[in-house]
Structure 1
Amino acid sequence: MEEMFDYILQFGDLNKQQIELIASKATQLELHKDEYFSEAGKVPRYTGFILQGVFRFCYYNNKGEEITNNFVEANSFVVDYPKFEANVASSEYIQAVTDCKLIVFTRKHWEELLNIIVGWDKIVAKIYQKCLLEAIDRRSPLVSEDATTRYLSFIERFPSLANQVPLAYIASYLGITQQSLSRIRRNIR
């Protein structure tokens, strides 16, 4: 839990009682590879802090193809926050790419923290803004770069993922076929 508080305290100050309250509302959750943290068509149940593992955000396009649009690693929060906050069904899946360990908060407990801790809403807003900006920064170059440059950028941004994540997910994230990705990987070795 220490990792989570180290992360949170980058965005604002909390006193000992506030930290103890947050800790009292948290529970641990383990998900196995390929299990879903959140599913399209269902209201997200938790917001979580990843202690170990990797998640991907994905959806199905109108052709029925699965599209990966983000990866989230350890020491980050994971949630479809706009849908969690609004208490409405998500339009995408959040799936464990590896076995994962998280600290999670139910909606009820999260709302209690928002109502009790003065300034918690501002800390949460800063965390969400950081996560959103990171996702945009990761996706923006993918629009204008060629496939090889996209892959090189991917392994630069996610050095640990290249060997943990199935090639199909990486190819989908990069907007290329798995065969193209295999060819690119062969050519740069």
Structure 2
Amino acid sequence: MNEFVAYILQFGNLNQQQIDLISSKATETTLSKDEYFWEAGKMVKQVGFLLNGVVRVCYYNNKGDEITRYFFEERCLLLEINSFENNTEPSEYVQAVTDCNLLLFSISDWQEMSHTILGWDSIIQKIFQKHLIQKLERRSPLVEQDATTRYLTFMEKFPLLANRIPLSYLASYLGITQQSLSRIRKNIR
């Protein structure tokens, strides 16, 4: 819980009573490797904070191919903002790549905190903006680079993450086949 509070305090101020309220609403749980935190087409029922592990955001294209869009590591808020605000079902999946430990908040508890804690929505908006910027920084260069450069850039920016995810997910994220990724890795060595 302390990790979550420290994370939140980077984006705004909370008093002890507000921290106690947040603590009373959180439950700690595990998500096993390959288990989904949420699935496309199903209502999201909780907000999570990733304490330990790696998750990926993925979807299926119109050909039925599984595409990995993003990876998230520790100290990341798992909040499907569109589903939350518009009461709609997500179009993507969030799946555990490794065994994960999470703090969970039910949607009703999350909404209660939003209504009770002055400035909570502003804090969450700042977190969302930070995550959006990070996503754009991760994805934007991938569009204009060749496959080898995409791989090298990923390895440079996320060296520890590369050892925690299957090559098939990394290839999907980079927009190449697993065979191409293997060839690139072989040529680099």
Rounded Cα–Cα distance in structure 1 between residues aligned with 2:109 and 2:124: 14
**How far off is 1:81 after superposition?**
2.0
Rounded Cα–Cα distance in structure 2 between residues aligned with 1:124 and 1:116: 14
**How far off is 1:181 after superposition?**
0.5
Q: Does 1:166 align with 2:166?
A: yes
* Corresponding residue SS for 1:161: helix
Aligned to 2:52: 52
Aligned to 1:184: 184
**How far off is 1:150 after superposition?**
0.6
Rounded Cα–Cα distance in structure 2 between residues aligned with 1:156 and 1:23: 37
Aligned to 2:6: 6
Q: Deviations over 1:79-125 (max 9, x none)?
A: 32221232211101000000000001110000000000000000000
Unaligned runs of 5+ in 1: none
Q: Does 1:71 align with 2:71?
A: yes
Match runs of 1:28-177 below 5 Å? 28-177=28-177
Percent identical among aligned pairs is 60
Rounded Cα–Cα distance in structure 2 between residues aligned with 1:78 and 1:154: 22
Residue type at the aligned position of 1:102: L
* Corresponding residue SS for 2:89: coil
The answer as to whether partners of 1:51 and 1:100 remain within 8 angstroms in 2 is: yes
Residue type at the aligned position of 1:134: Q
Residue type at the aligned position of 2:114: L
The answer as to whether partners of 1:27 and 1:103 remain within 8 angstroms in 2 is: yes
TM-score (norm 1): 0.97
Rounded Cα–Cα distance in structure 2 between residues aligned with 1:151 and 1:57: 19
Rounded Cα–Cα distance in structure 2 between residues aligned with 1:81 and 1:97: 22
Unaligned runs of 5+ in 2: none
* Corresponding residue SS for 2:48: strand
RMSD (Å) for aligned C-alpha atoms? 0.9
Rounded Cα–Cα distance in structure 2 between residues aligned with 1:157 and 1:53: 18
**How far off is 1:157 after superposition?**
2.3
Rounded Cα–Cα distance in structure 2 between residues aligned with 1:102 and 1:96: 11
Rounded Cα–Cα distance in structure 1 between residues aligned with 2:99 and 2:89: 25
Rounded Cα–Cα distance in structure 1 between residues aligned with 2:127 and 2:111: 16
TM-score (norm 2): 0.97
The answer as to whether partners of 1:46 and 1:84 remain within 8 angstroms in 2 is: no
* Corresponding residue SS for 2:95: strand
